[in-house]
């Protein structure tokens, strides 16, 4: 039975305007926000949630996660039985939910089964937006084989595998259509070299222009968009020109390319914490000299890229991209963003902009939106650290109209 709640006596955070609003009550029913007004009569049977001056704000949106990457050993994830990978993913998702992330956009690995498991209440996790498997060329960012390993392909049929190898226009069309048929809400491509992959330097461009154009066409034919893993300015400009909408990482972007991306209506997803976490724990986790060299290249450009994209008017959504044991650093992304962005800009990226990229009615406290709500012990517009510490400063977390944490009642 669905419960009706009415929140009273607090301040409502307007993420779009970056202000706190006094004197408002919020009515929630059937998983949606029904009304936001200064005076709402409590319906019969409604449970009043007295905020006591705390802040009521939208649930957070992380637009770059890999919930199947329970371990930093990507090959270990890929060969795990899918049933085991699903149970591990449930734990990863629940951890994120208890940090206040009520929506996750998965950038490679999660399938429609995990989406349904959340929708049906089998998993206590955030709402999940998926792309299926990330598309990668042979030798590209999702090709985990060492140079001397000549076994064909990767185990893309397993849930724990984040990507699938595709080569040629016909193949990328077929696989894009397969992802769409299987429930993808967007298509993910590895268009640039990566940090965690063994054979592709950061500067390498991946997929031909014809292949990329075919992927974009298939996504657009289905009313979807393409998201691209990109670091270098050359890779970013190339995919923007070819119609890619979502730009992941973007550490080495220039002002000229950022301006072009903004003009084309793109959204960027910086993931600074991924590289700081690798720098902190990489040696312990077995990363070698080549990986550390690549990490340092993208780390050095990360903070500067925030300034460039902000000044160009390129919207940025919040992302983390933390794999395996590095998930413990999830909330550090707020700390890193705060070196360049204001709390209001950071919150907007983790709510309004994230909602746009997920194409969901989340990220706002407004009638008709999903009832994904956080009760924060203070004003995060003044102190962004209130969104850190794994949810310690959140008295309540509501996902889809249901409390998953509540110290108020």
CA 217-222-225 angle, 5° bins = 65
DSSP H helix total and E strand total for the chain: 12, 19
pLDDT score at 196? 66
The burial class, CB within 10 Å (0-12 / 13-18 / 19+), for 184 is buried
Close Cβ partners of 396 (under 8 Å, ≥ 6 residues apart) = 49, 373, 374, 375, 403, 405, 406, 407, 408
Domain limits for position 127: 60-358
Block means of pLDDT (10 residues each) for the chain, 409 residues, are 90 98 97 95 94 98 97 87 96 98 97 97 96 91 73 75 94 98 98 79 92 98 98 97 98 97 98 93 78 81 95 98 95 97 98 98 98 98 98 98 95
**What DSSP line would sit under 89-158, residue for residue?**
HHHHHHHHHTTTEEEEEESSS--HHHHHHHHTTSS---EEE---SEEE-TTSTT----TT----S--TTS
Same structural domain for residues 259 and 288? yes
Rounded CA separation 199/145 (Å): 8
Same structural domain for residues 306 and 370? no
| Contact call for residues 372 and 399 (beta carbons, < 8 A) | yes
What domain count does the chain have?
A: 2
In sign, the C-alpha dihedral spanning 173, 261, 269, 305 is positive
Same structural domain for residues 266 and 306? yes
Close Cβ partners of 104 (under 8 Å, ≥ 6 residues apart) = 61, 62, 65, 67, 93, 96, 125, 126, 127, 128, 129
Whose tokens are 């409502």? That residue is 12
Same structural domain for residues 156 and 274? yes
Same structural domain for residues 103 and 229? yes
Same structural domain for residues 228 and 271? yes
Secondary structure letter of residue 385 according to DSSP? G
Same structural domain for residues 226 and 345? yes
Same structural domain for residues 54 and 65? no
Close Cβ partners of 150 (under 8 Å, ≥ 6 residues apart) = none
Q: Which tokens sit at 375?
A: 């009760």
Rounded CA separation 255/223 (Å): 30
Same structural domain for residues 371 and 225? no
CA distances from 168 to 138, 156, 171, 210 (A): 10, 18, 5, 9
Same structural domain for residues 336 and 248? yes
| Contact call for residues 271 and 64 (beta carbons, < 8 A) | yes
CA distances from 345 to 319, 326, 355 (A): 14, 25, 14
- CATH number, domain at 159? 3.20.20.140
Same structural domain for residues 354 and 368? no
pLDDT score at 1? 52
Rounded CA separation 283/295 (Å): 12
Rounded CA separation 375/383 (Å): 15
Picking from 278, 274, 331, the residue whose alpha carbon sits closest to that of residue 66 is: 274
- CATH number, domain at 402? 2.30.40.10
Same structural domain for residues 196 and 135? yes
pLDDT score at 258? 98
pLDDT score at 309? 98
pLDDT score at 154? 64
pLDDT score at 290? 73
């Amino acid at each position: 039975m669905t419960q009706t709640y009415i929140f009273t006596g607090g301040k409502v955070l307007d993420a779009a305007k970056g202000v706190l609003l006094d004197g408002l009550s919020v009515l929630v029913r059937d998983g949606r926000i029904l009304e936001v007004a200064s005076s709402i009569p409590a319906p019969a049977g409604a449970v009043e949630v007295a905020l006591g001056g705390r802040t009521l704000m939208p649930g957070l949106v992380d637009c770059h996660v890999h919930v199947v990457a329970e371990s930093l050993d990507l090959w270990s994830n890929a060969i795990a039985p899918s049933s085991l990978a699903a149970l591990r993913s449930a734990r990863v998702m629940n951890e994120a939910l208890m940090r206040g992330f009520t929506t996750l956009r998965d950038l490679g690995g999660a399938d429609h089964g995990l989406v349904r498991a959340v929708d049906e209440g089998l998993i206590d996790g955030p709402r999940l937006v998926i792309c299926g498997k990330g598309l990668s060329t042979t030798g590209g960012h999702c090709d985990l084989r060492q140079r001397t390993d000549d076994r064909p392909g990767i185990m893309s049929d397993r849930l724990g595998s984040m990507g699938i190898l595709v080569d040629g226009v016909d193949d990328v069309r077929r696989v894009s259509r397969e992802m769409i048929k299987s429930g993808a809400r967007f298509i993910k491509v590895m268009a640039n070299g990566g940090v965690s992959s063994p054979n592709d330097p950061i500067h390498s461009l991946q997929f031909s222009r014809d292949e990329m154009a075919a992927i974009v066409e298939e996504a657009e034919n289905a009313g979807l968009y393409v998201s691209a893993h990109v670091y270098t300015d050359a890779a970013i400009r190339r995919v923007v020109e070819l119609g890619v909408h979502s730009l992941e990482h973007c550490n080495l972007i220039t002002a000229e390319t950022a301006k072009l991306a903004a003009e084309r209506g793109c959204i960027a997803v910086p993931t600074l914490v991924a590289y700081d976490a690798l720098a902190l724990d990489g040696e312990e986790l077995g990363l070698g000299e080549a990986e550390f060299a690549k990490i340092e290249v993208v780390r050095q450009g990360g903070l500067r890229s925030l300034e460039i994209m902000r000044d160009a008017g390129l919207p940025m959504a919040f992302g983390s991209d933390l794999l395996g044991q590095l998930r413990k650093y999830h909330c550090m992304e707020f700390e890193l963003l705060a070196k360049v962005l204001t709390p209001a800009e950071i919150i907007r990226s983790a709510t309004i902009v994230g909602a746009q990229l997920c194409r969901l009615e989340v990220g706002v406290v407004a009638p008709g939106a999903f009832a994904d709500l956080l009760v924060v012990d203070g004003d995060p517009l003044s102190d962004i650290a209130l969104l850190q510490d794994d949810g310690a400063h959140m008295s309540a977390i509501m996902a889809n109209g249901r409390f998953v944490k509540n110290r108020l009642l």
